[in-house]
Amino acid sequence: MEYEAVIGLEIHVELQTDSKIFCGCSTAFGAEPNTNCCPGCLGLPGTLPLLNRRAVEYGVLAALALNCQVQEKSIFARKNYFYPDLPKAYQISQDDYPLARGGYLEIDLPEGSRRINLQRAHLEEEAGKLVHAGDSIMSAAYSLVDYNRAGVPLLEIVTEPEITSGREARLFLEELRRLLRYTGVSDVKMEEGSLRCDANLSLRPAGSSELGTRTEVKNLNSFRAVEQALNYEAERQARILAGGGEVIQATCHWDDSCKATVVMRMKEGAADYRYFPEPDLPPLLLERSYIEALKEKLPELPRQKRQRLRERYGLDDEEAAIIADTREMADFFECAAESYQDHRNLANWVQGDLIYQLREAGKEIEQISPALLVELLEMLDRGEINRPVAKELLEEMVKSGASPRRLVKKRGLGKISGTEELAPLVEQVITENPEAAENYRRGKKKALAFLVGKVMALTRGRADPQELNRLFKEKL
Ligand code: ADP
Ligand code: MG
Ligand code: ZN
C-alpha cells in the first residue's frame, strides 16, 4: 500500500524579555548555573507568580504576525508532572484558553506557495535544564540540574497536522524563524535552544482523510535534525505497517550521532497532566485596543518584503529571498539602492561577496555602511578599478570599515593606463618573451593576448588592456 506522511509541529520559542515570565530573575543565557534563581524559580512554598507584561506583548506580537486570533481572555493552567528540571512539579502553561487561536504561515515551495494552518499559540514557562554527565541522557552516570532557565517565557506554537514531508517541515521552520526574528520577540538561536521543535508524524493510506497513530520526536534543535528525524520516522513507520504491524503512540528522542529515533516513553494523554486553572494568577484579559495597537507595531514581514523587493527592484525570487532573509540585510540593500541604480548588480554583490566577507570577518551587516559599497561599485563601473581589485577592497572595507576610495589612493590600486607607466613594462615583457614577440610579428594574433596577459600578471590585473594592445602593436 502507498502511505503518505502527516506531520504536525509544536514549536517552543523563548521570548527575549530581560526578566522571567513570573519573577524578576534575569533570563541571560550562559550564566553560572543556578545564579539567576529566586525562591519562585526554585518552586519553594509561599512564593507567588507575577506575570511579565513584556512577555505578553511579545507573545501577542508573534501571534499577530502569524495571523492568529488573539484572545481577549486567556487562562493560565497548571500542567502537572514530575521531572527533576521542574521543581514545582507543575508547569504554568495554558490549556483550554490559550493566548491565541488559529492563524497560518505561508511557505514557498518549489511547486508554489502553501499555507500551513496553526491550531494555537500559548504562553508558558520554561523548565530548568538537566546537564547529563557524558554526552547521552541514556548512558549518563549522573545528571546535574541548572534552574537558570526555569521561568524563561515561552511561546508554544502548534500547527495543524497538515505538513507532508520532512523537507516541508524544515521549510516551515525556516520561514517561522525568519518571521519571528523580524518581529524581534526572540533571538531564535536554535543552538542555544531559543527555538526548538517537537515533531509529530503518522502515516495513512494515500488519499485517506483519517489520521493514523502518531509518534512524537521531542526537542529537535536544528533544521537538519527535524528533517532527518521525520524522514527516519516515516521510514520506520512504513516498515512496521508493511510488515503488518501497528505503530504504537510514543514519545521519542532523536539521537543525532546514530541518526535514529529512540523511544523514551509511551505517550501520555492530556488527562495525565491533570490540568486545572492556575489559582495564583487571574485570567489574562486583553483589550481590543491593546491588541490593535500592537498590530500597528508589526514591521513589514518577510513574505511582503520579498514581494516588494521583486516588484520595486526587479530582483528574482532567489535574490529577493536572500536579501530579505533579515530586516538588517534588506535595510542595507534598500539604503544602497537609493543612490545606486543597477539594483541587480547591487543585489549580486550583497548576496555573494558581501555576505561571504561578513562571515569571514565575523561581522554583522549593520556594522557596514551602505554608502561604502556604493562607492566601491561606482569606481568599478567607471573602470577606475578592476574586478579582482574591487573584491580585495571589499574585504578590506568589511574588515576595517575603510573607504574604498581612500584605500585605492593610499595603496595605488587604481587602473594603470598612463603610457609612461606601461611602456617600460611592455619593453620588459617583449625582452623576456622573444618567441612570442617574433610570432606576433609573423602574424600570429594570439601571441598578442599572451603578451598582454604577461603585463596583466606583472600589475596584478591593474593595467588597462586597451592601452596595452595599442602599445604592443606600436612596438612590434
Ligand atoms: P500533545 O502532543 O501535547 O498531546 P496535540 O495532541 O494537540 O498535543 O498535538 C500536538 C501536535 O501533533 C499538533 O501539531 C498536531 O497537529 C499533531 N498531531 C496530532 N495528531 C497527529 C497525527 N495523527 N499525525 C500527525 N500529527 C498529529
Ligand atoms: Mg506534544
Ligand atoms: Zn526567579
Looking from the CA of residue 162, the nearest atom of ligand 1 is 16
Q: Please give the pLDDT value at position 110.
A: 86
Going through 214-315 in order, the beta strands assigned E by DSSP cover 215-220, 250-255, 260-266, 276-277, 284-285
Say yes or no: CB of residue 421 within 6 Å of ligand 1: no
How far apart are alpha carbons 322 and 350 in whole angstroms?
Answer: 9
How far apart are alpha carbons 211 and 150 in whole angstroms?
Answer: 35
Residues around the ion ligand 3 (C-beta < 5 A): 23, 25, 38, 40-41
How far apart are alpha carbons 176 and 66 in whole angstroms?
Answer: 9
* Residue 271 pLDDT level (bands cut at 50, 70, 90): confident
Grid coordinates representing 407? 584605500
On whether the CB atoms of residues 472 and 451 are closer than 8 A, the answer is: yes
CA 46 to ligand 3 center in whole angstroms: 13
445 and 402 assigned to the same domain: no
Q: Please give the pLDDT value at position 256.
A: 84
- For residue 454, is pLDDT > 90? no
pLDDT average, residue stretch 196-204: 96
- Range from 81-90, 192-201, 440-449 carrying the lowest mean pLDDT: 440-449
Say yes or no: CB of residue 9 within 6 Å of ligand 1: yes
User: Given CA atoms 196, 180, 292, 154 in this order, what sign does their dihedral have?
Assistant: positive
316 and 333 assigned to the same domain: yes
Say yes or no: CB of residue 202 within 6 Å of ligand 1: yes
Cα separations (Å) of 332 from 222, 323, 329, 374, 416?
Answer: 28, 9, 5, 11, 32
Looking from the CA of residue 267, the nearest atom of ligand 1 is 4
More confidently predicted of 217 and 469: 217
Say yes or no: CB of residue 5 within 6 Å of ligand 1: no
Grid coordinates representing 343? 539594483
More confidently predicted of 404 and 256: 404
How far apart are alpha carbons 437 and 217 in whole angstroms?
Answer: 72
Which domain range does residue 367 map to? 302-411
Measuring from atom 17 of ligand 1, which residue has the nearest CA? 8
CA 88 to ligand 3 center in whole angstroms: 13
The 10 Å Cβ neighbour count of residue 50 is 13
CA 324 to ligand 3 center in whole angstroms: 38
User: Given CA atoms 71, 48, 31, 197 in this order, what sign does their dihedral have?
Assistant: negative
24 and 168 assigned to the same domain: yes
Q: Please give the pLDDT value at position 78.
A: 97
Give backbone dihedrals phi and psi of 99, rounded to 5 degrees, phi first.
-60, -35
Say yes or no: CB of residue 93 within 6 Å of ligand 1: no
- For residue 247, is pLDDT > 80? yes
Pick the last residue of a domain from 411, 431, 453.
411
Average pLDDT, the chain: 93
CA 157 to ligand 1 center in whole angstroms: 12
388 and 433 assigned to the same domain: no
Percent of the chain with pLDDT over 90: 75
How many domains, in total, are found in the chain? 3
How far apart are alpha carbons 369 and 387 in whole angstroms?
Answer: 20
**Using one digit for the tens of pLDDT, what is the confidence trace for 336-362?**
999 999 999 999 999 999 999 999 999
Q: Which helix (H) or strand (E) holds 131?
A: strand 129-132
Angle at 360 between CA 359 and CA 364, to 5 degrees: 40
250 and 168 assigned to the same domain: yes
Pick the last residue of a domain from 384, 411, 438.
411
- For residue 266, is pLDDT > 90? no
* Residue 17 pLDDT level (bands cut at 50, 70, 90): very high
Angle at 121 between CA 117 and CA 127, to 5 degrees: 135
CATH number at residue 438: 1.10.10.410
CA 223 to ligand 2 center in whole angstroms: 18
How far apart are alpha carbons 434 and 401 in whole angstroms?
Answer: 46
252 and 106 assigned to the same domain: yes
- Range from 92-96, 304-308, 352-356, 426-430 carrying the lowest mean pLDDT: 426-430
Looking from the CA of residue 270, the nearest atom of ligand 1 is 4
pLDDT average, residue stretch 47-54: 97
Query: What SS3 class is residue 41?
Result: coil
- For residue 417, is pLDDT > 90? no
**Using one digit for the tens of pLDDT, what is the confidence trace for 300-333?**
999 999 999 999 999 999 999 999 999 999 999 9
On whether the CB atoms of residues 337 and 377 are closer than 8 A, the answer is: no
Q: Please give the pLDDT value at position 120.
A: 98
Say yes or no: CB of residue 8 within 6 Å of ligand 1: yes
How far apart are alpha carbons 450 and 431 in whole angstroms?
Answer: 14
120 and 98 assigned to the same domain: yes
How far apart are alpha carbons 62 and 135 in whole angstroms?
Answer: 34
Single-letter residue type at 10 = E
Say yes or no: CB of residue 10 within 6 Å of ligand 1: yes
Q: Please give the pLDDT value at position 275.
A: 96
pLDDT average, residue stretch 203-212: 93
Looking from the CA of residue 9, the nearest atom of ligand 1 is 14
- For residue 379, is pLDDT > 80? yes
pLDDT average, residue stretch 1-20: 96
- For residue 468, is pLDDT > 90? no
Give the bridge partners for 195, in sequence order: 13
* Residue 383 pLDDT level (bands cut at 50, 70, 90): confident
CA atoms within 13 A on the CB side of 11: 32
Chain centre to alpha carbon of residue 170: 11
Pairing mode, strands 104-109 and 112-125: antiparallel
Percent of the chain with pLDDT over 70: 99
Which ligand places an atom closest to the C-alpha of 270? Answer: 1
- For residue 111, is pLDDT > 90? no
How far apart are alpha carbons 362 and 355 in whole angstroms?
Answer: 10
Which ligand places an atom closest to the C-alpha of 128? Answer: 3
Pick the last residue of a domain from 293, 328, 352.
293
Ligand 1: which of 173, 197, 214, 265 to mutate, judged by most atoms within 8 Å of the beta carbon? 214
287 and 306 assigned to the same domain: no
Say yes or no: CB of residue 453 within 6 Å of ligand 1: no
254 and 363 assigned to the same domain: no
Single-letter residue type at 298 = L
Say yes or no: CB of residue 163 within 6 Å of ligand 1: no
8 and 62 assigned to the same domain: yes
- For residue 447, is pLDDT > 80? yes
- For residue 449, is pLDDT > 90? no
338 and 427 assigned to the same domain: no
Which ligand places an atom closest to the C-alpha of 117? Answer: 1
Angle at 54 between CA 50 and CA 58, to 5 degrees: 125
pLDDT average, residue stretch 72-101: 97
43 and 118 assigned to the same domain: yes
Angle at 299 between CA 219 and CA 287, to 5 degrees: 85
